[in-house]
Structure 1
Amino acid sequence: MLQRSTLKFLKDLKLNNNKAWFDENRPAYLQAKEDFESLVQQLIDGLAKLDPGMEGLVVKECVFRIFKDVRFSKDKTPYKVNMGASFTKGGKKSPLAGFYFHLEPGGHSMAGGGLWMPEPPVLKKVRQEIDYNFAEFQRIVGAKDFIRLFGKVNGDSLKNAPQGYHEDNPAIAYLKLKSLVVTTHVSDEAATQPTLVREILRVFSTMLPFIGFLNTAQED
């Protein structure tokens, strides 16, 4: 579980997103960072039991920095008001599909994963895999537990069919997606309960066939 002080730090940061406040409250940040990284280590340990491909991951390869790159952003506030970690074979910069946990108080925390805005060659392979093996993909995303947790696969969608496909393709709704992501909400209360790690790992376990399918496309 996470400490309530970690959520409080992020709430306070949202109200005081400036360097002076952050510097003054650096001890609170370091405590929150340590707390979140402890959670990430527990998730790595649990994931390695679910998926041997996750063995060898280290915390620093999973956790995203709280410092924003504001060079190309209209929002010049210097810090993210969330903490996030990606669990992907090869680390967070890997092109493979993976799992994700996002902590953002105020009803914005979630667990999920998939492929977020993959490079065109990767997306092309994934589309081919969905087209060739659509029945299998349907079984995965249509499973009762999958739908109960995630609803449907999300992502920005093209207006027209991608090159090489037609609108009457049975898989066209998925083939149009530019990302293939699923998420489920994690409440602030759930984030501070002893059951948090177990619940996130349950979410990740339900996602395993989905992640495996997406990654099979890149292995071919």
Structure 2
Amino acid sequence: MGPHFSEQTFDFLEELEHRNNREWFEEHKPVYEIELKARMLAVIESINAGLGEFAPQHLRPPNKAMMRIYRDVRFSHDKTPYKTHLAAFWPRQGLEKTGGAGFFVQVGVQSVMVAGGSWGPGPQQLRAIREYLLEHHRAMRGVLADVSRTGLADPLAGNPLVRAPKGFPADHPAVDLLQNRSWAMTGFLPGAAALGEDFTDLVLKRFRALAPLVDLLNVPLSSVTPLQREAATGRREQGDSTAV
């Protein structure tokens, strides 16, 4: 019997859809702590045990893997303070601060999303992937085809550009891959799957299928340093040369 969620978990999330305010959340926080947070941490612990068999470099303490339910509303028109789903992320160890590829699960009432790869990589990460594909596009095509054949994830969507990215040859045999701006493959389960005792097995089955994509992406992504990332996003002043 594996850890899973409860009807009370979904009742809380459904109510949160309609009462997304701090007063309601604080009043019902004991339910959140037991039926959402504690259950999510148990699910993550179980997934960690499975990842140890095929992706040990992605193991992460449950409290680090679990994503906050509090929304960042600073730059959003939607000011509701809470997410209406639960989520966790397992990046490659050592690449947490530089946008490494990883595994992701999101649990909602209507569906569960299981994904692997790099979501919306930043400029430095995207360049690193594209430069790697100039020489390794056949390997990438093979991995994408293998994952698709499992039937456990949808084909890569990629949010592609309409033409070759600036600085890359338009006539390169990998141009269709170079146009991609996102590198994650996703699969979906019905929300009710999260209520079953085999829930973590279902997630791990999909993570295992996605592992070759995550591993391949982390080859070029491991070359991006924290300093490069901060410089690309403007988080560090130009004159600050402190090593990271």
The TM-score, its normalising length taken from structure 2, stands at 0.83
Q: Shift of residue 97 of structure 1?
A: 0.2
Partner of 1:41: 45
CA distance in 2 between counterparts of 1:88 and 1:112 reads: 12
1:96 alignment partner, SS class:
coil
Contact 1:44–1:87 (Cα < 8 Å) also in 2: no
Contact 1:103–1:110 (CA under 8 A) maintained in structure 2: yes
Provide Cα deviations, 1:193-220, integer angstroms capped at 9, x if missing partner: 1111111111010011111110111345
Residue 177 (structure 2) aligned to one of 169, 174, 179: 174
Q: Which amino acid aligns with 1:70?
A: V
TM-superposed deviation, 1:145: 5.2
Structure-2 separation of matches of 1:151 and 1:215: 21
SS at match of 2:220: helix
Distance in 2 of aligned mates of 1:159 and 1:150: 24
* Counterpart-to-counterpart distance in 2, 1:15 and 1:35: 23
- Measured after TM superposition, the shift of residue 76 of structure 1 is 0.7
Name the counterpart of 2:195.
192
Residues 1:142 and 2:156 are matched in the alignment: no
Q: Is the 8 A contact 1:154 1:182 kept in 2?
A: yes
- Amino acid of the residue matched to residue 53 of structure 1? Q
Superposition pairs for residues 1-220 of structure 1, below 5 Å?
1-31=4-34, 32-55=36-59, 57-90=60-93, 93-107=97-111, 109-143=112-146, 146=149, 148-219=151-222
Equivalent position amino acid for 2:47 in 1:
L
Give the deviation of 1:14 after TM superposition.
0.8
Structure 2 Cα separation of the partners of residues 169 and 119 of structure 1: 23
Secondary structure of residue in 2 paired with 1:133? helix
| Alpha-carbon distance in 2 for matches of 1:100, 1:18 | 27
Contact 2:17 2:84 in 1 (8 A): yes
CA deviations over 1:146-177 (Å, ceiling 9, x no partner): 46222311232222211232333332222111
- What TM-score do the two structures reach when normalised by structure 1? 0.92
Q: What per-residue deviation string (whole Å, max 9, x for no partner) do you get for residues 124-156 of structure 1? A: 111122221111111111126546222311232
Local SS of the residue matching 1:150: coil
Q: Secondary structure at the match of 1:40?
A: helix
Q: Secondary structure at the match of 1:191?
A: helix
Provide the rounded CA distance (Å) in 2 between the counterparts of 1:92 and 1:121. Answer: 15
* Structural RMSD (CA): 1.8
Structure 1 position 8, deviation (Å): 1.8
Count of matched residue pairs: 218
Q: What is the alpha-carbon distance in structure 1 between the residues aligned to residue 98 and residue 167 of structure 2?
A: 27
Whose radius of gyration is greater, 1 or 2? 2
Q: Quick one: distance in 2 between partners of 1:132 and 1:197?
A: 37
Find the aligned partners of 1:140 and 1:147 in 2 and give their Cα distance: 11
Deviations 1:104-133 (A, max 9, x none): 1123x2101210122212111111222211
Unmatched runs of 5 consecutive residues or more in structure 2? 224-244
Shift of 1:93: 4.5
5+ long unaligned stretches in structure 1: none
